[in-house]
Amino acid sequence: MCWSATADLVAGAGIAAVGAASMALAARRPRDLPLAALPLLLGVHQMIEAAVWHQDGGTGPATLAWAVIALPLLPLWVPAAVLCAAPPGARRRLLLPLCAGVATAAVLAHTLATRTVTAEIRGHTVGYSLGLPRPELVIACYLLATIGSLLLSGDRGLVAFGVLVAVGAAATFTLWRQEYISTWCAFAAVCSVYLTYWVARRRPPAPRS
């Protein structure tokens, strides 16, 4: 989420471009492709929110599309992608965040199917309301699935990424709750650049001629 429609659109396009580069770098390591594609997904997410700004919030298709990515898709995508990329020794313990992600995605998908998600423009932020049942438990499982999977990955680069996500998310969430300004797009850009750097370092060396 950014502070205006224009910021969301520009940031989203830039993040999506980084995601395309990340996927190209991961072409020789197919197991890394789901994680490499994450910036592309985040970029599309930002561009969808530009449409939410333009429709002045509400309950339209853009709001629903934004919620589908943010709520059921990400807590399922991230632990599955980490499981694909993680070293063999870490895969058993990664089943816990993956199971948390599956359960969280199921609850959130059911909630989206049975309730109406609403977006509200609040100055330089957008607030989304869905009326989650037992929100504290859902949030805890969401964090276990996303940040927890990174911290348990067994890969030093992904563990560092998990720390970056945890600290950055706490800071941006605090600013968003105060309805001062939304900086999620800048946070997503930093995360996307880091992931591309991680993918580039993991590429196998090109064969010698």
> What does pLDDT average to in each consecutive run of 10 residues of the chain (209 residues)?
85 95 93 96 94 94 96 96 95 96 97 95 87 89 95 96 90 64 75 94 61
Residue 23 buriedness (CB in 10 A; 0-12 / 13-18 / 19+): buried
Give the chain's length.
209
The first and second tokens of residue 22, run together, are 């990340």
Give the residue from 153, 70, 82 showing the smallest Cα distance to 112.
Answer: 70
Q: How many CB atoms lie within 10 A of CB 85?
A: 22
By CB neighbour count within 10 A (0-12 exposed, 13-18 middle, 19+ buried), where does 1 fall?
buried
Q: What is the pTM of this model?
A: 0.91
pLDDT value at residue 49: 94
Residue-wise pLDDT for 17-55, tens only, equals 999 999 999 988 999 999 999 999 999 999 999 999 999
For residue 122, give Cα distances in angstroms to 58, 159, 202.
12, 34, 42
Q: Which residues contact 4 (CB under 8 A, 6 or more apart)?
A: 53, 124
